[in-house]
Every structure is written in structure tokens, then in C-alpha cells.
Amino acid sequence: MVKTVQPKMGVIFKSYEPLTAIRAYAEQTEASGFSGGFWIAEAYHWFRQYGLEARGCFTTLAVVAQATSKIPVGLGITSPYMRHPTIQASEAAAIDELSNGRFIMGIGVGKVGIEYLEYDIEKMSPVTVHHESMDIMRKVFSGQSYDYEGKHFKSSMPAFGRAEKGLRTNIPVYVGATGPFMQKLAGKESDGMLLAGLTSPSFVKYALSNMKDGAASVGRTLPDDFAVGGVILCACSRDGAKARNATRSYTGTYIVNKIRNIKNDVILAGSGLPDSAWDPFRKAIAEGTQDNVTHLVTDEMMRRFTVISGTPEECLEIVQDLVDAGLNLPLLEVVGKSEQDNLDTIRLMGKEVLPNLKPGPAVTA
């Protein structure tokens, strides 16, 4: 008999949203019963080209922690290239304390954000950087004294009785993993794996295979409910066309990002569409019109990438496709045209989709 697990669903926003809106979204997420929690993805000043202003992700998370009392508070993600691991750890520890032990730390490359920094990620390879960052953060969380010297990071710290002070010593760390090596690292060392936008069912299966290979390579047995999350664009409305139009421009931005920055053909191929489908986007990038590609995004493209947009019935079908592929933590990146639209999406997804989700395969299935 195939083992199954009941999925958890969460909500995620980038930290370019006004903090008053973030508070309202977090409150509604908890009220709507999203056991997967409320998450923040770190935004960068790159988003100014779309008229959006980045806020600090940890300050934004502090608002979330104070607006909620039960559900997890997650960071999905910040980049270890941005801050030294000891700084990441101190920020994480503060949010964990503020949320009374509900915080989940998420790290990933964040290539769009670090392209302005003077890093050579060919030399500072993501796998090594993330391995060392997780190692140091966990040493800080433990409260034990340590001396650490890695390839990229060096740190030493005296002991502190975190447990005696009522502070957690094992804050979970998830890894944002787009490529196979990072997916294997997630299986080897992390507490959960987070997949990027445009996560199709076939890509979920591809990532799971790599994650399991990574775990097996170090003799690690993953639990049945090991977190496999994905950031999925979402707009839900009684008016399905309105919802699809809300996600269309964001889908175009994700496609351009995958072609220009991430350069991961497996993600694009996972849609099942021919490679020629992306030629108009490549042409737009070459001509410098990549910020005006909404008209190139078809309903079929969004459905193939399991963008969660449409009526509640349509959204349920799309989410279930992802869950059936093994995604047990869908994180809804809600992208309505207004704050009210976003609140409506959260309510509808919580009321009519979440209760009707069927179990998906266990990680060990």
C-alpha cells in the first residue's frame, strides 16, 4: 500500500508589499486555517522597475510574527550571499523568539538579488556556500561554543545557554533549490526543500528524485512528511478570467527570469511545451522589451506550469496536480490586482480549496 501524507498549504508574499497589507494578509491566512503558515520572500531593489519598493525581510517577518499566534512564520528565501551566516542566525533567532518558536528559516541563491553584488558564484559555488551557512547557523542556534573555518566562511563563538533562556536550539532550515545539486544538498542536509515559481508536476518529480538521491548518498532516511514546498503564483475568484489575468504578467516575469537569470531548461521543459514556445520571450530579452511580455503568456502556459489561477474549482484541480506529484507544502504567491483581491483569494482558497485537498504520496513512497 502506497503511503500518503496530508499536504499543508501556506501563503507567501514578497517583502515589497506595504507592511499594513502584510499584517492584513497574515491575519487572514491564520483565520483561514493555513497550517503551512505565512511566508515572506526577500525582495530586492530590482523590483523598482515594476514600481515596487523592497522592505527588509526580517522586519517584515516581525510584523507577521506579531500579527499571528499559531501558524508557522517562514522565510522563503533570503540569500546566504547577502549576509554572513552569523548575522543570518541572529536575525533568525530574533524572529523565532518573537514568534514563540514558530519560525522556519529558508535560504537560497536569490540570483536576481545578488547580481548587483561583487560575487563570483562560479568560485563561491552555491552548494558550498549553503552548506557552510547551514552549518554555522546551526552551531549558533545550538548555543554551544565553536570554531569554524570553511572554504568561504570563518566564525568562532563562545557558548550561551539558549535552552536555559527558553530559546530554541534547532530552528529548521529549508533550502531553496532550483538545480539538481542544490536539490541533492536539500536531501543531504536541510529540514525542507523549496522549489521556485513555475513548478510543474514533472519538475516536482525531477526535484524529488534528486533530493532522495542526495539523502541516500549520506545514508539519511527522510521522514514521510519531509517538507517539499513550492512557490506557486495564485489568484482565485468566482470570475476565473479575472484571476487568470491577475497572474499573467507575473508568469511572464518568471519565464523571463528562468531564461535570462536562472537558465534552467529543465523547468521550462517541465511544462511539456516545445522549446520554440519560449522564442518570443528570448526575442523580447534580446530586444530589451522583457518587461512587456504579458501578451505572450497564454492560458495554456499558465496551466502547464500549474499557476493556480481561476475559480475555486479550477484552483483545487491545479493544486491537487501538484500534491499528487509530491509537493506537500504549496506556498501560494498571491498576486491580485488589489489588497482586497488578495484577501479574497486567501479566503476562497482557505474555505473551498484547502478542506478538499486529498493526501499526496509520502516522501518515502
Q: What percent of the chain has pLDDT over 90?
A: 88
pLDDT band for position 47 (50/70/90)? confident
pLDDT value of residue 5: 97
Is residue 94 within 8 Å of 58, Cβ to Cβ? yes
Q: Is the pLDDT of residue 260 over 80?
A: yes
Report the DSSP pairing between strands 103-107 and 146-149: unpaired
* Interval 252-267 mean pLDDT: 84
Asked if the 4-361 domain carries CATH number 2.60.40.10, the reply is no
pLDDT band for position 111 (50/70/90)? confident
pLDDT value of residue 262: 67
Instruction: Output the average pLDDT for the chain.
Output: 95
pLDDT value of residue 355: 97
Lowest-pLDDT choice from 9-23, 103-117, 344-358: 103-117
Q: Is the pLDDT of residue 324 over 80?
A: yes
Greater confidence (115 vs 173) lies with 173
Assigned C-alpha cell, 186: 536539500
Q: Is the pLDDT of residue 59 over 80?
A: yes
Give the integer Cα–Cα distance in Å for 365 and 358: 16
pTM of the model: 0.96
Q: Is the pLDDT of residue 173 over 90?
A: yes
* Interval 84-109 mean pLDDT: 98
pLDDT value of residue 362: 98
pLDDT band for position 188 (50/70/90)? very high
Lowest-pLDDT choice from 262-271, 282-291, 342-351: 262-271
